[in-house]
Amino acid sequence: MFSVRNGWLFVEDVSVKELVESYGTPLYVTSRAALESNIEAYKEAFKDFPGKVRLLYAVKANNNLSILRIISSNGFGADVFSGGELYLALLGGFPREYILFNGNSKSDDEIRMGVRSAVPFSVDSIDELYTLSETAILEDSEVRIAFRVNPEIDAKTHPKIATALRTSKFGIPWEHIVDVYRTAYELPGVEPRGIHCHIGSQITDISPFVEALQKVFQIARQIEEIGVELEFIDIGGGLGIDYEGKGAESTPTPAQLAEKLLPVFEDGVSSLKSDPELWLEPGRSIVGNTTILLTKVNAVKKSYRNFVAVDAGFNLLLRPAMYSAYHRIVVANKMDREAEEVYTIAGPICESGDILGEDRKLPKVEKRDVIAIFDAGAYGFVMSSQYNGRTRCAEVLVEGSHHYLIREAESYGDLIAKQKIPEHLL
């Protein structure tokens, strides 16, 4: 999906040169072929279990509508974490019966929206449960729910994206979960039909997923005794990708995940009275490696380090600043040249932490060169901001030799689009 021709980086059959000339920089560019390949890898991994495995795309990873439409057209459901993501998922064409409304702090308005949209909920607290019950009664509805349990599993990932530690804000504690199901079973307006957990993101070891599924089946057997008939068991997503370019063996594949999970799932279901589906919520592993961020060099400065100042910063790609995350970086117009010097790639934001890559050995970098940052499809544009008065960039989809604008770049007018000035300040 990404190749080199005549010294230039290509996305499918389109050169970065053509893309930059057409749309400018900064610019997010997604390969549809890469996206379709990742989708197919999941479908192929679980194809022997038709009707038993449901794939729900984690909309938080990348919520561009064109990308959502491609994913939904492949039979995926969706995992959403807000009213806004629910709105996008519905526009994106996902079937509402397979849009799971997740989230640890849903507002009353969001709960009402979810009830009216007839989507299932992952409930995160007793307060949410009571509000959901009251809302369902007022709306004359019955809402299918799961509870998100915290299974207290260390997924061995970055602390900021580990979501099943005992100290996590997510989920209902393991020791309380059965009592919560008992309460829900007696409440009007809600129908407990599933159980949900999510242990973290960028996980490169499958064993925590296996441990989580085994723990969830322990709970499933207990809540069946209350009278709950389970329709689904959702163990979330979080499968990691190869950010460092170490090769295919460095991170597990969907096929390897399926190989480990499905025997545990089959064994667990055999111990139940009900016959639930297995739900999974891939996000990063669907979109992460599909996209590059292109950014132009404004200046090269020799200082304590060789700084390369570019026109994209953490306002567009927050992961390096927030998580100390590593992304591969290349000089897109000098792909046929040998690395000569060590550079630190710095963005234009007025923060010392606005560093996109430290100490990277690259060909000689000069003003107006084009830098490409790989694996920016997950938690890239979705986490962007207008900090420092920086407008957000365009997004482009490449399909073979064609490219399509799928999000316009913002203008300065967008910085004030929703602002109001009181009359006395005019």
Give yes or no for a contact between 100 and 78, defined as CB atoms under 8 angstroms apart: yes
What are the tokens at 288? Answer: 């992460």
Beta strands in 186-305 (DSSP E): 190-196, 232-234, 277-280, 291-302
Give yes or no for a contact between 313 and 371, defined as CB atoms under 8 angstroms apart: no
**Which amino acid, one-letter code, is at 295?**
T
Query: Could you give the dihedral angle defined by the CA atoms of residues 68, 258, 281 and 242, in that order, rounded to the nearest 10 degrees?
Result: -70
Interstrand relation of 121-123 and 355-362 (parallel, antiparallel or unpaired): unpaired
What are the tokens at 327? Answer: 């992304």
Which residue from 145, 96, 146 is spatially nearest to 116, judged by alpha carbons? 96
Q: At what angle do helices 83-91 and 108-117 cross, to 10 degrees?
A: 30
Q: Is 411 exposed, middle or buried (0-12, 13-18, 19+ CB in 10 A)?
A: exposed
Q: Is 350 a catalytic residue?
A: yes
Q: Which residue has the tokens 């729900």?
A: 56
Q: Which residue has the tokens 């799961």?
A: 146
First CA to last CA distance, the chain = 53
The kind and range of the H/E element at 307 are strand 306-310
Of 248, 350, 425, 426, the active-site residue reads 350
Residue-level length of the chain: 426
What is the C-alpha separation between 329 and 361, in angstroms, rounded?
9
Q: Which residues are catalytic?
A: 350
